[in-house]
Amino acid sequence: MSKEASQHDYRLFSIKEAAKFTGISVSTLRNWERSGLIHPKRRNNNYRVFDFHDLELLKRIREYSQDKGLNQSIIKEMLSRDEHHTPLEKEMEYPHYHYETLKRYRKKMGYTLSDVAKAIHISPSYLSRVEQGKVNASYKIIEKLAAFFDESAIRFFDVQRKKPATEVVQYEHGQSLPSSLTGVYMEMQTTIKSQPFEVVRFVIEPNCGDLKKHQHNSGHDYITVLTGQLQVILDESKEFILKEKDSINFESTRIHQWLNPGDIPAEILWVHSYI
């Protein structure tokens, strides 16, 4: 990681912002830097700055330190091991998905294994093994399947497995979610699997979001902006700019796209109901 960063660099966060987004105190971040756990970049004025990769690293260190109670020497060793994993190995580390749900969706919609496999460019035999839970499908594969079924990938992942079922989820302590969207961080705010809805907190970098047209088979969506701005486009024609404390709701069957049009990170709360 480079030690310097131009003051014109994009998508960088101050130490206070990094602390806010990760739920870690500024003093703890400075202590981690002194002990060599992290190596923040520096602006020309010598202020520490963090990018989204750094935020993910901070949350991983927090998990090792606070959740697992590991000391700093062991954490350094764990981080070193993480760095030596290949991208494929990292994909394979997220194997827990609801394979029964995938099969149920396919049969409900009347598709054969060959229909779905051909559409997402995998073999029918591999898809069959995915549906039986015999292979650790990557996030990319599950995302393609979700898109084929007009659903969110979250619907098919057991993203809540690491957190005990509880009525209260503390701010910035929800389960991190995998995402293929650049500059988008997602955190699950619910832990009870039987609920017919999901609540996800998003942190979205400026000019980042999901402009790919998508819709779901059923359900409703509700979004409220906690900080920053959010642009929502419905039906490819209706454009809304939501500012702080604004909200929007719409049927999930409508085509929708979204983007942070502002110059600071946007934080939103997104509720998706399946009924």
- Domains of the chain with CATH codes: 4-84 (1.10.1660.10), 91-156 (1.10.260.40), 175-273 (2.60.120.10)
Q: Please, which pLDDT band fits residue 247 given cuts at 50, 70 and 90?
A: very high
Angle subtended by helix axes 15-22 and 52-62, to nearest 10:
50
pLDDT at 51 over 70: yes
Tens-place pLDDT, residues 157-187:
655 445 566 778 787 777 777 777 788 888 8
Residue 88 structure tokens: 């494929």
CB atoms within 10 A of CB 65: 18
Considering only residues 214 and 25, tell me which one the structure prediction assigns the higher pLDDT.
25
Instruction: Provide the pLDDT for residue 108.
Output: 87
DSSP secondary-structure letter at 244? Answer: T
Contact 1, 42 (CB under 8 A): no
- pTM (global) more than 0.75: no
Q: Please, which pLDDT band fits residue 4 given cuts at 50, 70 and 90?
A: very low
Percent of the chain with pLDDT strictly greater than 90: 22
